[in-house]
């Protein structure tokens, strides 16, 4: 089976994820915004781990901190923790069926939210509302269509 290399897909998909994170939403929907950057990075960690690693996740997190105007290093830490866990369990996760992968990704996003909440609590920043705790579930629901879309683009299959 010959695969078409698309070297542009990794940077473009991450740029789109950054833009989706910047997309203005009504105040009422803000707590339900999925962590697009983590979802796209998780895909690349599972499917093309030679190009993406801890250093890449750290640099991407710093770029995201600058783009989103967040505390410098917050997203870098969050993405590095997620990357480390995904790299450790990649052989198992890669061969899970999509619904099971979705649950694992939801767990990773919940872990990410806990890290974020702990950092905000340690720094004395305001506590987010309980609605933010829905985002891991939303990310888990979005994982299968995102995975299929990126896989289709990466492998060059017709939809």
Q: Which pLDDT belongs to residue 127? A: 77
- Whether the CB-CB separation of 14 and 37 falls below 8 Å is answered with yes
Per the model's pLDDT, the better-predicted residue between 126 and 81 turns out to be 81
In a domain, 5, yes or no: no
pLDDT band of residue 128 (cuts 50, 70, 90) is confident
What one-character DSSP code corresponds to residue 131? G
* Average pLDDT along the chain: 90
- Its pTM stands at 0.91
In a domain, 2, yes or no: no
Centroid of chain to Cα 10:
13
In a domain, 27, yes or no: no
pLDDT at position 19 over 70: yes
Over range 68-84, report the average pLDDT: 92
Q: What's the pLDDT tens digit per position in 83-101?
A: 999 999 999 998 999 999 9
Q: Which domain holds residue 79?
A: 10-21+33-155
Q: What's the pLDDT tens digit per position in 32-68?
A: 999 999 999 999 999 988 889 999 999 999 999 999 9
With CA atoms as reference, report the closest residue to 78 among 116, 40, 131, 44. 116
In total, how many domains does the chain have?
1
In a domain, 43, yes or no: yes
pLDDT band of residue 4 (cuts 50, 70, 90) is low
- Whether the CB-CB separation of 141 and 98 falls below 8 Å is answered with no
Q: Which pLDDT belongs to residue 7? A: 82
CA atoms of 124 and 3, how far apart (whole Å): 50
In a domain, 3, yes or no: no
72-86, 108-122, 144-158: the lowest-pLDDT one? 144-158
- What percent of the chain has pLDDT above 70? 96
HEC secondary structure over 14-31: HHHHHHHHHCCCCCCCHH
């Amino acid at each position: 089976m010959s695969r078409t290399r698309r070297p542009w897909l990794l940077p473009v998909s991450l740029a789109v994820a950054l833009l989706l994170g910047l997309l203005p939403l009504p105040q009422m929907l803000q707590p339900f915004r999925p962590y697009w950057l983590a979802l796209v990075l998780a895909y690349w960690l599972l499917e093309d781990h030679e190009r993406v690693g801890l250093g890449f996740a750290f640099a991407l997190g710093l770029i995201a901190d600058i783009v989103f105007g967040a505390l410098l290093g917050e997203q870098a830490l969050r993405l590095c923790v997620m990357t480390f866990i995904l790299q450790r369990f990649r052989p198992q996760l890669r061969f899970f069926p999509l619904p099971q992968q979705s649950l694992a990704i939801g767990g990773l996003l919940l872990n990410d939210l806990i890290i974020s909440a702990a950092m905000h609590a340690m720094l004395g920043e305001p506590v987010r509302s309980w609605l933010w705790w829905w985002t891991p579930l939303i990310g888990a629901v979005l994982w299968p269509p995102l995975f299929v879309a990126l896989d289709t683009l990466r492998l060059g299959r017709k939809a």
